[in-house]
Chain A
Amino acid sequence: MIAATFALLLSLPLLVWVAAMFDRIGAGRGRVVMAPLQNGAALLLRPNTETEAPDQLNRLLAPGWYLALALVGLSVVPFAPGVVASDIATGLVLWGACEALTVVVVFLHGWSPNSPLPLIGAYRYVAIGLPAMLLSMFVLIGAALPAQSLSVAEVVEAQRDLWNVVRQPLGLPLFMALGLAITLRGPFDFAEGAELAGGASAEESGPALAAWRFARAAMLVAFSAMAATAFLGGYLGPVLPGPAWLLLKTLAVMAAAVAAGRFFARMPPARMLTFLWVVLLPLSFANLALVGVEALP
């Protein structure tokens, strides 16, 4: 358990770096390998920004909470049979709690500078983040059904015969929507979209911005690992050792998330809200019904 925690803490910065590389490839920019590090270093050397009457404490802590949620979310993912950083019997619920708290953290991030564009970003994000979270709950419960348990390790073990992505084809795409929402990406980036000129992060500079971006990439890593575990069989696979399989699947989901973020257009929030409740939510009901009928003894 301690070993798993160290492995997690060591691999996270590297995976964050890889996520940044994927982002550069997605944006079609050169110098893929070094530029993320260099730009990050340049940000660290710039000053922070103070606004007119900010909520200092929340402004300071928001990136930290975001990173904390990513870490806690990642810590329920088993790397190999019995190797997991936090071995909790209700890992899926803990992951859900991390999703819910992400909405709170992004709201605080946009609220605390006391500036209009971040404020609008924060409120729009809440409108979309809450129902998006609902989707992920339904699909994760779908993943828990055949496992008969809320433990993430059991969910992996239940996929020994057949991965959930085959058994519940709707699950992964719907979970991907949540992933885009909690990592503030593409069609679900209502907090920091271009129409708000950076939105919730528009007033951040220097190390505060670097910390926020780091946490956001860490959340992408955590989401990808969770998606790989719940739907792609986690550490299961032939020949290679378990952690290697998990890593490969995580990278695959990460690439897919980056690509999806750049492919789908962002709707105005009101339209997106209706779409979520009226199209995606019934789809997740359908997914659950499908899984339920399939899992009947």
Chain B
Amino acid sequence: MSWLSTLAHDAEIAVFAAVGQHGLGLTETLGRQRGVRLVSSPRHARVLLVAGEVESAQARALERLHAQIPPPRGTVWWQAPRLFERGETVIGDDPGEAIRRAAGADDPEQRPDVPPHPWRGMGPHGQGGHGMMGGNPYGRPMAMTADDIRDGLTLDAYSARFGPFLPALPPGLVLDLTMQGDVIVSAAAASPPYPQGPEGDAPTLCAARMLRLMGIGPRAAHARGALMALPKGSGMRRRLAAWLRGETVTESPAPPPNALPGREWAEAVLWLASFPPSRLRAVCPEEAA
């Protein structure tokens, strides 16, 4: 395998960026960094880059993310205080060197190796469950039926905490969602998005983020097609059009717990991305959870 290693030596370093406070602008500059590639899932990454300060309340989430990067893995704290004792801290504007060094690191996992619920050896087949739906097969219970808000079929509801570092959501926003299929049935904001400063609301950045969710680059947006692709009636088109013209958007959204239920996932994500982070932050209660 030595030729494989030789070939891999000059490969781009796959980086998963966990964006913290004032980190959105920082992350955008990474696109110009040579030899570094931003990826959308920690599974694809080699290095965890924490861009901007993350509150210690969310250290657990960061550690989980860190654990999900397959080993060997490295960590870089970019303009962020360390939350665990691994990785290098970068104060300046260029984390390139630190990322390259982290690509040779081998951080141990920060979380204890225990399943979410004990299950081994329990149940009739040792799978941890009992009966049809009971117990914790393989460490987790199964989803149970609940009422649906749209078509009246009582099928299983999936409840989970999404964020704060899910690339599709505004950084820092933690949503406790219950979903049926890909439609959100109920939502609660456990933590508001991080403050991003004025650069977070810059039209070009906001437009680029939204267009990225639609699978195109900012250059393709000159075609009106990008606007036509958005659903009518929720103001998304209006706001994206304003951003593309270079105007700032000052509209405030309805609080996500009221606005998200009933929306399908892609629509919900686009809706959240169609507001400037500062406005979204203003309508989410501080420290609700």
Contact = CB atoms under 8 A, between A and B. Distances in A.
Interface of A: 27-28, 30, 34-35, 37-39, 41-42, 44-49, 52-53, 116, 120, 123-124, 186-187, 189, 193-198, 201-206, 209, 261-271
Instruction: Kindly list the 8 A-B residue pairs having the minimum CB-CB distance in the complex, ordered from nearest.
Output: A42-B11, A53-B138, A38-B11, A41-B7, A265-B229, A41-B8, A42-B8, A205-B43
A206 B45 CA distance: 10
22 contacts: A35-B12, A38-B8, A39-B11, A39-B14, A45-B1, A45-B8, A47-B71, A193-B266, A194-B214, A196-B168, A198-B41, A203-B41, A205-B70, A263-B223, A263-B225, A264-B220, A264-B229, A265-B211, A265-B216, A265-B220, A268-B267, A271-B229
A124 B264 CA distance: 11
B214 A45 contact: no
Interface string B141-173: 000000000000000001010000011100000
Contact of A197 (B41, B160, B226, B229): B41
Contacts of A209: 43-44
B275 to A, nearest CB: 16
A22 B267 CA distance: 30
A202 B40 contact: yes
Contact of A28 (B5, B41, B217): B217
A235 B116 CA distance: 58
Interface string B117-143: 000000000000000000001111000
Nearest to A39: B11
Nearest to A208: B43
A194 B4 contact: no
Nearest to B10: A38
Interface string B200-216: 00000000000111111
B265 A195 contact: yes
A49 B42 CA distance: 11
B43 A194 contact: no
B70 A47 contact: yes
Contacts of B10: 34, 38
B111 interface: no
A41 B10 CA distance: 10
Contacts of A30: 34
B270 interface: yes
Residue among B46, B137, B226, B265 with most chain A CB within 10 A: B265
B181 interface: yes
Contacts of A37: 7
B138 A265 contact: no
Contacts of B247: none
B70 A46 contact: yes
A37 B10 CA distance: 10
Contacts of A44: 4, 8
A197 B166 contact: yes
Interface string B37-77: 10111011010000000000000000000000011000000
Given A34-B10, A209-B44, A265-B229, A195 B269 contact: yes
B133 to A, nearest CB: 14
B231 interface: yes
A269 B264 contact: yes
A292 to B, nearest CB: 31
A266 B215 contact: yes
Contacts of B267: 268, 270
B182 interface: yes
Given A46-B70, A264-B216, A52 B40 contact: no
Contacts of B212: 194
B216 A263 contact: yes
A52 B140 contact: yes
Residue among B10, B34, B37, B140 with most chain A CB within 10 A: B10
A175 to B, nearest CB: 20
B220 A263 contact: yes
Contacts of B269: 195
A198 B9 CA distance: 25
A268 B181 CA distance: 15
A123 B167 contact: no
A53 B167 CA distance: 25
A268 B266 contact: yes
Given A120-B182, A262-B220, A202 B43 contact: yes
Contact of B225 (A116, A265, A271): A265
Contacts of B14: 39, 42
B270 A268 contact: yes
B43 A203 contact: yes
